[in-house]
């Protein structure tokens, strides 16, 4: 396949329904793009494909349909759960019957105070009564999955657990007293919301709906025996993989737009028992591109490339308020993490392996951040071959949420680039 024939990474309407709509996720790319990149690479059933920022798991979904083994890593445990829940092998279970057993068990469960309070921070988003019901269902999921573990291996049991916890997360979104704002990571309080939903019936509803989504998505897909994906909770800067573990990488790192991915999953993280001011804050600060300063002692590195250093110096000297005190440290964090992640990509790629990174350009005030070119320079400084093989104009950009941004540069043009990286060497 020629590079000019690779289809856009922008998702179509059919990729916002069914299995793709289990959880709102801003930064997904299209299945068409992943399919075309697999063809461009020449990936086959003996290949291993990695996505170190897997998010909603699109790369793994396409690989499953193509009979290709995939690995996925994400620092956010919520997204790991949702990705595991989209495993083709789940169709072999009688999920409807297991879901019924979970509901029956939960409806007769009594929790002691300690079991209830392990996720009390979730009361920021949900009533005590609904939280108690969800806790009962969660306990029933654990009990039923332990019973299933005697019938299958631990990996399959973990995948089964992930499916029902994903169902539980969807219930949390429905009964919770919050809604999504204009910014995809904002959660707006709806304390006046009247909840008349029977959570047990809602759980059964989503079990059945998600079973149909899985069956529809994987219909007529039979070549999957060697394509069971492996998912890991981990950091792109220090991957939980051995050297030369992947033939190819298809991924999209966070952009330079300060998207707060951890906040977008805050209700789910708190429900899992992450404490608001400790565990949750740790995940948020460790997430690449987050809008929080985690380290004020980072210094510019010439190895990042001329484009990045020029951009950072322009931010440092900018007259806008907080340019030096807030934005510069945020951007320094980002490029430090991006460079460390590229170093890891080089380590885990096999010799002569390829990686494709989808990134978008952005602006700081009137200073353009040509992110595609920046990743090319960083990769080249690590002695990797790198080039932009596809560029599309972005019509709808997250930056447009801030209507005041146009005062610096009117009619801004944003680009989405596919950066191709090759690790030189003999296979």
Q: What DSSP string describes 348-359?
A: HEEEEEEEEEEE
Tell me the angle at which helices 199-217 and 95-107 cross, rounded to the nearest 10 degrees: 170
How far does CA 242 lie from the centroid of its chain? 22
The pLDDT averaged over each successive group of 10 residues in the chain (427 residues) is 88 85 81 96 96 95 95 97 95 92 91 66 90 93 84 77 97 90 80 79 97 92 76 97 98 94 94 92 95 95 97 97 96 98 98 97 96 98 98 72 57 93 86
Residue 134 neighbours by CB under 8 Å, 6+ apart: 126, 168, 171, 172, 175, 199, 271
Q: What is the reported pLDDT for 241?
A: 97
Tell me which residue of 251, 267, 106, 286 sits closest to 190, measured CA to CA: 267
Query: Which sequence spans correspond to the domains of the chain?
Result: 3-75+245-422, 97-217
Distance of CA 23 to CAs 16, 123, 173, 386, 391, Å? 10, 20, 9, 33, 28
DSSP 401: G
Tell me which residue of 86, 54, 14, 403 sits closest to 261, measured CA to CA: 54
- Cα torsion through 27, 165, 220, 46, rounded to 10: 70
Q: Is 67 left (phi over 0), alpha (psi -120 to 50) or beta?
A: left
Beta strands 48-51 and 69-74 are parallel
Q: What is the reported pLDDT for 118?
A: 67
Beta strands 230-233 and 246-251 are unpaired
Q: What is the reported pLDDT for 399?
A: 54
CA atoms of 375 and 381, how far apart (whole Å): 10
Q: Two tokens at 382?
A: 């690590």
CA atoms of 38 and 35, how far apart (whole Å): 5
Q: Report CA torsion sign: 273, 267, 275, 260.
A: positive
The answer to whether 356 and 349 have CB atoms below 8 angstroms apart is no
Q: What is the reported pLDDT for 391?
A: 95
What is the enclosing helix (H) or strand (E) of 50? strand 48-51
DSSP 223: -
Q: What is the reported pLDDT for 115?
A: 58
CA atoms of 246 and 423, how far apart (whole Å): 11
Q: Two tokens at 291?
A: 């809008």
What is the enclosing helix (H) or strand (E) of 230? strand 230-233
Q: Two tokens at 210?
A: 């998600």
The answer to whether 331 and 312 have CB atoms below 8 angstroms apart is yes
pTM (2 d.p.)? 0.93
How far does CA 209 lie from the centroid of its chain? 22
How far does CA 402 lie from the centroid of its chain? 23
Q: What is the reported pLDDT for 373?
A: 98
**How is domain 3-75+245-422 classified at the CATH fold level?**
Rossmann fold (3.40.50)
- Cα torsion through 364, 366, 370, 371, rounded to 10: 10
DSSP-H helix ranges across 1-112: 31-41, 58-66, 77-84, 95-107
């Amino acid at each position: 396949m020629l590079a000019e024939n690779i289809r856009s990474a922008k998702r179509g309407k059919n990729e916002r329904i069914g299995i793709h709509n289990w959880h709102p996720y801003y930064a997904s790319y299209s299945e068409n793009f992943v399919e075309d990149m697999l063809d461009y690479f020449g990936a086959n059933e003996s290949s291993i494909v990695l996505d170190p920022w897997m998010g909603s798991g699109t790369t793994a979904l396409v690989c499953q349909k193509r009979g290709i083994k995939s690995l996925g890593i994400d620092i956010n445990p919520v997204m790991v759960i949702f990705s595991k829940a989209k495993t083709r092998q789940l169709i072999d279970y009688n999920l409807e019957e297991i879901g019924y057993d979970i509901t029956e068990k939960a409806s007769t469960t009594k929790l002691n105070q300690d079991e209830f309070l392990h996720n009390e921070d979730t009361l920021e988003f949900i009533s005590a009564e609904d939280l108690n019901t969800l806790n009962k269902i969660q306990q029933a999921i654990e009990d039923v999955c332990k019973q299933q573990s005697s019938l299958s291996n631990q990996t399959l049991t973990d995948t089964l657990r992930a499916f029902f916890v994903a169902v539980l997360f969807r219930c949390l979104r429905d009964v919770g007293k919050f809604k999504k704002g204009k910014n995809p990571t904002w959660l707006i309080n709806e304390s006046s919301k009247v909840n008349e939903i029977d959570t047990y019936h809602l759980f059964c509803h989503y079990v059945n709906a998600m079973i149909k989504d899985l069956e529809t998505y994987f219909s007529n897909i039979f070549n999957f025996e060697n394509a069971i994906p492996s998912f890991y909770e981990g950091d792109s800067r220090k991957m939980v993989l051995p050297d030369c573990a992947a033939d190819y990488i298809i991924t999209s790192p966070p952009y330079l737009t300060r998207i707060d991915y951890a906040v977008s999953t805050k209700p789910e993280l708190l429900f899992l028992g992450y404490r608001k001011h400790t565990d949750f804050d740790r995940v948020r600060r460790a997430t690449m591109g987050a809008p929080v300063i985690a380290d004020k002692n980072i210094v510019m590195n010439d190895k990042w490339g001329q484009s990045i250093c020029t951009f950072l110096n322009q931010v440092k000297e900018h007259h806008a308020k907080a340019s030096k005190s807030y934005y510069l440290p945020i951007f320094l964090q980002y490029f430090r993490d991006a460079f460390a992640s590229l170093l890891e990509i080089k380590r885990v790629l096999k010799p002569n392996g390829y990686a494709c990174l989808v990134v978008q350009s952005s602006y700081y005030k009137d200073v353009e951040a040509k992110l595609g070119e920046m990743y090319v320079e960083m990769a080249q400084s690590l002695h990797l071959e790198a080039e932009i093989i596809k560029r599309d104009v972005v019509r709808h950009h997250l930056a447009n949420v801030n209507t005041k941004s146009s005062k610096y540069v009117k009619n801004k043009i944003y680009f989405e680039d596919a950066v191709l990286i090759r690790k030189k060497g003999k296979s």
